[in-house]
Amino acid sequence: MQGFIHASGVVYEEISFNLETLEQVVNHGHAMNEMAQHLSSNKTQCVVIFIMNHSDEDRGDLFVSPGSCATVVAVSE
C-alpha cells in the first residue's frame, strides 16, 4: 500500500489470538475493543482488515488454538 498511501497516513495494528481458554477469549475481546476505541477516537477515514486463518501446516485442519484442531468439514457444518 506504500505506493498509494504515504506512510504517515497508515497505522498498522496486529492482534494475534489463541482461543483455547475462556481467559484467552476474554483477553481477545478486550484487545479488539481497545483497537476499536483507538480507531474511533482518531480521524480514521478507512479501515482495511486482513484476517489470517489458522490451519495445521501438515493437514490443513483449521484451529483457534494449537491444541484445538478441527477438520475443514467439521468447521463448515
Instruction: List pLDDT tens digits, range 3-52.
Output: 777 777 777 778 877 777 889 889 989 999 998 888 888 777 777 777 76
Residue 73: predicted pLDDT:
66
Q: 3-class SS at 49?
A: coil
Alpha helices in 5-71 (DSSP H): 22-41
Question: What single-letter DSSP state applies at residue 55?
Answer: B
Beta bridge partners, 33, equal none
